[in-house]
């Protein structure tokens, strides 16, 4: 009889986001005869991806959000580990709050304690109180974790410090189901017909509708594009706190009728086929998985230069500064307002180990490390 290794994935939420999709993919593509997963979320809000956990055979566990109080949050983590464990691995994906998760896992004698950074926010201004909190959590992360992962070097440097991550951490690529995202002309035609895009030049953006993703800038660029090429459309995929503001802004710019707000979707692989260009001017990113998926689909991408270099797997990305004039962004976008050949980029992603098989081999190795070989 095979004894399954029990993994607790701490995700904070299971909404339709990049980090959450990565954590779900670990369960989707791992050997379920060897591992069983639980997912820990904060608060009562039900996420769009929770049904996937249940479908895969896992459980979603809930505790009150840390904003209710950090002491109670720490106690709740320990209670979960005692009640629902014992766990062989605790793999924590939220940013600084993972420090308390790692401390709780250490106190409850979890052998493998993984802190995983998915974000880099070096250009973000924070209050003194937040700085003190971040310093404390970094201390806990480095003291109580024994495996340090990141989706990019910049994400690892941000959360753990460049010297520490360089000596102790490793980058784990966000795996992509390459076959799922490869360009397919029949899917492109189907989706464009469904969305009534006809022969329009179609810009797209995928991401949570929030300040960090900079969709106001997306609308500004699209407005300039529209002025120069009237038969243009914009698809916004995602939901979030800025939705109402963005709708109002699109109306003020008088482009609302040419902007398609699709909300949360699970068919990003098909929507990418329908687009002619992905616009991604984020203010900061740990990686930018939508950019990777777009490249698998052979799609040109115009992105901000703040995004980590690891997304440049192919030559399809064009980088611009957010300080550049809007006209410069529009001019770069308009270079691709005619049909270009959507090439198969599978080889580039396999060579750079972004394929799901390569990533899951590494994850399995980490999850099955002999606990005696890990510094406790």
Write out pLDDT tens, residues 237-277: 999 999 999 999 999 999 999 999 999 898 999 999 999 99
The residue with tokens 């060897």 is: 34
What single string gives the DSSP state of each residue in 323-363? TS-HHHHHHHHHTTSS-------HHHHHHTT-BHHHHHHHH
Mean model confidence pLDDT for the chain: 93
**pLDDT reading at 64 higher than 60:** yes
Task: Judge whether 91 and 116 are in contact, CB under 8 Å.
Answer: yes
Burial status of residue 262 (CB atoms within 10 A of its CB: 0-12, 13-18, 19 or more)? middle
**Separation between Cα atoms, residue 205 and residue 333, nearest integer Å:** 13
pLDDT given for residue 122 in this prediction: 62
pLDDT given for residue 1 in this prediction: 60
Label residue 370 by pLDDT band (50, 70, 90).
Answer: low
**Separation between Cα atoms, residue 136 and residue 58, nearest integer Å:** 32
Write out pLDDT tens, residues 139-198: 999 999 999 999 999 999 999 999 999 999 999 999 999 999 999 999 999 999 999 998
pLDDT given for residue 304 in this prediction: 97
The single-letter DSSP state of residue 293 is H
Residues 6+ apart with CB under 8 A from 125: none
**Separation between Cα atoms, residue 183 and residue 290, nearest integer Å:** 15
**pLDDT reading at 375 higher than 50:** no
**pTM (global) more than 0.85:** yes
What is the average pLDDT across 97-122?
Answer: 94
**pLDDT reading at 98 higher than 80:** yes
The first and second tokens of residue 173, run together, are 């690529």
What is the average pLDDT across 87-116?
Answer: 97
**Separation between Cα atoms, residue 41 and residue 10, nearest integer Å:** 7
Residue 334: name the closest of 227, 213, 215 by CA: 227
**Separation between Cα atoms, residue 174 and residue 100, nearest integer Å:** 25
- The helix (run of H) or strand (run of E) holding residue 228 is helix 215-228
Write out pLDDT tens, residues 197-214: 989 999 999 999 999 999
What single string gives the DSSP state of each residue in 163-187? HHHHHHEEE----B-HHHHS--HHH
**pLDDT reading at 233 higher than 70:** yes
Helix/strand/coil (H, E, C) string of 15-45? CCCHHHHHHHHHHHHCCCCCEEEEEEEECCC
**pLDDT reading at 372 higher than 80:** no
Q: Name the percent of the chain lying above pLDDT 70.
A: 97
Question: What is residue 365's three-state secondary structure?
Answer: helix
**Separation between Cα atoms, residue 43 and residue 41, nearest integer Å:** 7
**pLDDT reading at 133 higher than 80:** yes
């Amino acid at each position: 009889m095979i004894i399954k290794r029990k993994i607790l994935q701490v995700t904070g939420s299971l909404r339709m986001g990049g980090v959450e999709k990565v954590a779900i993919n670990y369960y989707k593509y791992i050997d379920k005869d060897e591992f069983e997963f639980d997912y820990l979320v904060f608060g009562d809000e039900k996420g769009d991806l929770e049904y996937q956990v249940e479908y895969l055979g896992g459980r979603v566990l809930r505790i009150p959000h840390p904003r209710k109080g950090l002491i109670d949050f720490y106690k709740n983590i320990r209670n979960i580990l005692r009640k629902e464990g014992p766990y062989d691995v605790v793999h924590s994906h939220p940013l600084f709050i993972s420090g308390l998760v790692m401390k709780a896992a250490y106190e409850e004698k979890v052998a493998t304690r993984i802190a995983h950074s998915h974000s880099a926010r070096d250009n973000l201004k924070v209050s003194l109180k937040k700085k003190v909190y971040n310093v404390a959590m970094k201390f806990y992360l480095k003291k109580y974790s024994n495996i340090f992962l990141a989706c990019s070097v910049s994400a690892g440097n941000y959360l753990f410090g460049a010297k520490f991550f360089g000596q102790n951490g490793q980058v784990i690529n966000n795996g992509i189901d390459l076959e799922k995202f490869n360009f397919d002309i029949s899917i492109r035609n189907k989706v464009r017909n469904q969305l009534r895009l006809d022969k329009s030049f179609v810009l797209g953006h995928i991401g949570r509708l929030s300040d960090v993703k900079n969709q106001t800038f997306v609308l500004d660029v699209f407005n300039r594009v529209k002025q120069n090429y009237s038969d243009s459309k914009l698809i916004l995929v995602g939901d979030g706190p800025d939705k109402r503001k963005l709708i109002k802004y699109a109306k003020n710019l008088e482009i609302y009728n040419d902007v398609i707000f699709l909300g949360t979707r699970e068919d990003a692989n098909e929507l990418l086929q329908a687009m002619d260009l992905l616009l991604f001017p984020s203010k900061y990113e740990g990686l930018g998985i939508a950019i990777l998926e777009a490249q698998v689909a052979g799609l040109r991408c115009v992105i901000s230069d703040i995004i980590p270099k690891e997304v440049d797997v192919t030559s399809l990305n064009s980088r611009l500064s957010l300080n550049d004039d809007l006209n410069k962004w529009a001019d770069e976008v308009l270079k691709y307002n005619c049909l270009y050949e959507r090439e198969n980029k599978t080889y580039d992603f396999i060579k750079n180990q972004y394929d799901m098989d390569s990533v899951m081999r590494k994850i399995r190795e980490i999850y099955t490390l002999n606990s005696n070989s890990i510094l406790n």
